Every structure is written in C-alpha cells, then in structure tokens.
Amino acid sequence: MNVDGDILLDRGTFQGNIHLVSARVDDTLSIVKIKQEKVTFPLYLRLLYPFIKNIKKNPITSLLQKEYQTIESHYMKIDLQFARIGRLRDDEQSWPEKNNLNLDGFIYQKLGTDDNIKVLKDAKTRLKWLRLQPEFFPQTYEQLAEVLKKEGDPDAATEILIHKERDIRPKLNRLSKFWNRFLDITIAYGYKPTKALVWSSIFISIGWNLFALGYDNCSNSISNNKCLFSPASEISPYT
C-alpha cells in the first residue's frame, strides 16, 4: 500500500486486524480516540483454556481451542511491520492489548500531534507502547530513540536505549545476565559514562581509607614487631 497523503483512523470502532504491513505513507498515520470492540469469553472457556491450549489430537479440546481463537481474533491488532510513514500520531487509549502490536521494522520520522491531543513523547509512556509487542525487537527501541533525539529530547532517547539493554536481559544465559546487570549498575551500558566516575570515586575513597587505617595500625604496632612493613618515616637506611 502506498499513500501520498494521510491515513486517518481517528474515532473509529475496530475489531480484528489493522493490517498495514509494508505500507508507505508519505505524511501522517493517525490512530487517535479509537474504540476497541469489547471481547467477552464464556466463563467455562476462560477457565479451561489454560489447561487445554497445548493439547493436540483431541477432538473436544480442538473444538474448544478453535472457539477460543475465534473469539480472540476479535481483539484489535495493529500490525505495522516494515511500514514507513512520515509522522505517527496516536494516543494511549487507542493502543491495542498486550501482544497485539507489531512494530518490527516500523520506520517513522517523527511523533506528531495536533493542539487537542497530548503529545506522547516521554520515555516512560513510550516504553509501555514498545512492550505491547509479543516479542523483543531491538530495532523498535533504536527507532524510537532516534526520533526522540531528533525532536530535541536526548535524555528520553538515552532512557529508551538503556531499557533496550534491560529488556533483553531475560533472554540471556546466567553469565550474560550477570554481565548485563553489572554494566547497567556501573556505566548504564555506556550511555551514562559519568556513572563510571562516581563508582571510581567510591572505590578510590574506600581504598584510601583502608590504606590509612592499615598505616595507623602499623604505626601503632611497629614497636612490638607486629607489622610486616613499617611506615617509610620509621625506617632508617643506617640501621
């Protein structure tokens, strides 16, 4: 799909897929104040499905699984995989449920709005948006950070990139998780190098105090030959 102008989905009521995979929109994709059709599962299906969802080759469970999937398909899903647009305009109430958003490969030049809609550019809110995806896609974090930086908010961009590294942690093995956490605590993965100066100052201060404590103890016990190394001021080259 190639659109020279805008795609406006504002104030509509939707169910099922909003499918814009590989779409090209020169200007604005607007998803604002839309309503999602309410989806209701029968009580028995909600209770049974966690136990039967992985059972195969059983006619009864297969029938129940199909019924569940049919109802589930009514949830609004937004698929923007590999789409390219000029400007994205949206609001939080128009986002789909968790696991129903696909932003993999989605490219946009800026986040925009009009005078009546709150701009959603803060890192905390946009992280919620990224985490609606069913999988972790690092490109989606990098794309958002790039746009935020271009729009004059490098701090928000940095927060997004830091959380990209944090959100990949559950997929790592134990050793890699430890190293990931260490880099987070010490230098924020290199995005906040001043943290390294803080930690260096702490370690230098600890080392200085330990050395001073050892020096004092050694000075007090030198007369009893309890100190292996004497302070330099107590050693004479002529004795």
DSSP 85-114: EEEEEE-GGG---TT-EE-TT-EEEEE---
Question: Residue 112: what pLDDT?
Answer: 78
Report yes or no on 121 lying in a domain: no
Q: Which residue has the higher pLDDT, 151 or 37?
A: 151
pLDDT tens-digit map of 20-54: 999 999 999 999 988 888 888 889 888 889 998 88
- Is 35 strand, coil or helix? strand
* Helix, strand, coil percentages in the chain from 3-state DSSP, rounded to 5: 50, 15, 35
Please say if the pLDDT value at position 228 is more than 80: no
- Residue keyed to tokens 């696909």: 102
End-to-end alpha-carbon separation of the chain, Å?
A: 93
- Say how many domains are in the chain: 1
Report yes or no on 226 lying in a domain: yes
Report yes or no on 217 lying in a domain: yes
Q: Among 32-36, 109-113, 158-162, which stretch is predicted with the lowest mean pLDDT?
A: 109-113
Question: Residue 150: what pLDDT?
Answer: 92
Q: Which residue has the higher pLDDT, 118 or 205?
A: 205
Residue 7, phi then psi, degrees to nearest 5: -120, 115
Report yes or no on 68 lying in a domain: no
What percent of the chain lies above the pLDDT cut of 70? 81
Domain that includes residue 218, residue range: 194-234
Question: Residue 193: what pLDDT?
Answer: 76
Average pLDDT, the chain: 84
Please say if the pLDDT value at position 232 is more than 70: no
Mean pLDDT of the 201-228 span: 64
Report yes or no on 220 lying in a domain: yes
**What one-character-per-residue DSSP string does 144-210 give?**
HHHHHHHTT-HHHHHHHHHHHHHHTGGGS-HHHHHHHHHHHHHHGGGT-THHHHHHHHHHHHHHHHH
Phi-psi region of 225 (alpha: psi -120 to 50; beta: other; left: phi over 0): left
Task: Tell me which H or E stretch contains 59.
Answer: helix 59-72
Question: Residue 121: what pLDDT?
Answer: 78
pLDDT tens-digit map of 191-210: 887 766 666 667 677 776 77
The band of 222, judged by pLDDT with boundaries at 50, 70 and 90, is low
| Nearest CA-CA partner of 167 in 152, 146, 189 | 189
Report yes or no on 23 lying in a domain: no
Report yes or no on 205 lying in a domain: yes
Report yes or no on 156 lying in a domain: no
The band of 217, judged by pLDDT with boundaries at 50, 70 and 90, is low
Angle (CA) 9-13-14 rounded to 5° is 85
